[in-house]
Structure 1
Amino acid sequence: MHFSLSTIAAAALIFSAADASPHRGHSGRPYGTGRLSGFPFPSGARPTGRPGRPSGRPSGGFPFPPANGTDFPGLSGPAPTGPVPTGFPTELPSGFPTELPSGIPTDLPSGLPTEIPSVSFAFPSSIEGNINAAAASTKTKSSKSTKTTAAVESSATGSDNSSTPASTFAPSSSAATTTFPEAAGSSSLSEPMVVDGVFDGGMVRFDRGTACGGQGEGGDSDAVFQVQEGGTLKNVIIGADQTEGVHCMGACTIENVWWEAVCEDALTIKQESGVSYVIGGGAKGADDKVVQHNGGGTISISGFYVSDFGKLYRSCGNCDTMYERHVIIDNVIADSGKVLAGINSNYGDTATITNSCVSNTKSICTEFEGNDTGDEPTEISSGISESCIYTDADTTTC
């Protein structure tokens, strides 16, 4: 048990006042020092018999004087009377502290953080350089094949069909793999499946139930899937019995989609602007193009595997409406092909290639002079240039 300093001081004053009182018991001891276990009778004065209990005495404990002031039976002399001793303290002695000592802190120290530190992420320098290079390209509009690059650049401001170069890049979550997956089942569609949102095929093989008809141009109605603006198609195998594969009607995401036998094209992109992503997956057996870019904007291809192909990527060389287009190819494995990327440099197209393994392929990047007349585009050059952006090391990461 603990007592405060004020309690101890008050008790000391009480006992001091009691010792100074003139009232004494019959034994001659002051009341403040007498025995507490029963009344202190003088020698030879203990009464005999059992007289009635005094009305002022409680049942057990200290014998108080009777309430009427008479003597106790068998005792000589009057009961002690008189006023209650004065001097009981009613206030704490001066000097007792009533407040906390000064200097005790009541607030948190200044300088403690009140917000979660911000975290930033930077892509590797090679990827960042690709993005900047694509973003630096100039917008263009529809042009005849006789226009020079400078003429196209000077007329770009008033174009309604200009495209926006890539400003972001989404690398694949894992490295490209050369192993095609096993199908979890098969489904033959009588018409294209329209994807508006996200469709996860669960690695089922989809086709249209008709054999490939060669390199004749098909339409949207011949596709296995039509992916709408902002849609995502994932975890799908495209079987051999089809002609047009997948058509993206706007900017889309194609994730872990595999073409077992490409017919005319594997994937056709028709967005007017924005960025479409091809993440993971693979294709083989394309006599001509795997990814056909008919619209504008940018296509990012990452973590993809392609073999036995004509072109992995081709910017349309003679569409009715021509755009400036950009492609970013990263972490791709390509084997046994003719051209990895084909672009129309006279429209401001660029191809940026990084961290890829390209083998047994005749050209990494080929520039064409495109047109909107429907004529076959003519080849300008092949190899590293201002439009074909890569180094030898970027294509030999195997």
Structure 2
Amino acid sequence: MTKNLLTAICSALMILISGQVFAQTSAKAGEIAPEIHITDWIENVPDDKDLRGKYIVLEFWATWCGPCIAAVPHMNELQKEFNSSDLYYLSISDEPVEKIKRTLKRVDFKSIVVTDQTGQTHKNYGDKVEGLQAIPLTVLIDNKGFVKWVGLPTQLTRKVMADFLEDKNDATRTSTVERKKLNSTESPKKEFSDIMTLLQDKNTPYYFNLQESEVAKKSKMAVGMKAIDMKGYTLEEIFEQVLSINKQNLKVPDALKDKRFNLMYKNSNDDALNKIELEQKLLIELGLTKKIEVIQVKGYEVSVKDSSLLEKTMAEKGFTAKSDADNKTLFTSYTIKNTLDEISKDIAVPFRFSGDDKTQYDFIINNTSAAEIVSSLKSYGLEATAKSFRTEQVELKSAK
């Protein structure tokens, strides 16, 4: 996905992606590899920067991409097992050097880390205009400059690497990009274009549609300032993600507890998401009423202890992203408060910011437990102190 396209999308939506998917690329097995253009060599820089005559494992990644970061240990293991002087593992981004270096402080790349700040390499391997529509993406290039394999880093197995280095991969092998084996029955591009079509339809300033879902688990979710697209979510998850009501503090009727819903919503009449209006629509549609009770819960109050460990984001204006990387969550261009709000949703333990810093930062947070979150926050100079908070217990009841 190119920086320009991603920025355009994220200005309207905050994309939360579960699973790894990728779109078409101009790199085809058996064809000559597109040119690799590098503006900056950043980490593990080789003495010989000439890529000609080298076997290359080309990995497209970005600091904001959770699946990219999650794939790093796997790629490191492959590099440890398959290595030689004429084999280059090349991890390429299109981001500023300073932004990449901040991630390298926290993520151990064994590969050669480079960037092409012109975005030309992404265009060469993408649609030639906008670039790659989604990452991560891995391309194997032999020492004669031919593409041998294209796919996800998780699909790059030891056998694929062994075949690649023995020149057994040839043009008769269908690339995983062309096969497009996706987890869902619907193309993610088509699913995403639906909400984009709704956003761009000026003749429909307001839209609300809630339907019981036929899928057994949640798939994709997009939540923005003026639009929502959720598929396969429980009522608890909808209230938590959209209305910021922690599902641990939410009671729903037993008859609705295991049901999943698809929600599509747009309201371009308001400057921001009208949570009160949306909640009322949900309650009316489901025939429910809401009862609120104040209770005490244990959580953490977070304050800035060492501001020198906080580094302002280098992302473009209007760009924010949250992405999962196995047991970690990546926050790009988030304020401390917004980061803690999202953490609280994920782990069902309140983390609240005691300050008023509205600066945007990038965070990588281990979300496996409250203790790991506290440790991650500490690495950014943030101190979390155990504290009890008064919070609302919400109970949804049938209106009949």
The structure with the greater share of residues assigned to helix is 2
Fold shared by both chains (TM-score > 0.5) = no
Q: TM-score, normalised by structure 1?
A: 0.21
State the structure with bigger RCO (CA 8 A, min sep 6), 1 or 2.
2
* TM-score between both structures, scaled by the size of structure 2: 0.21
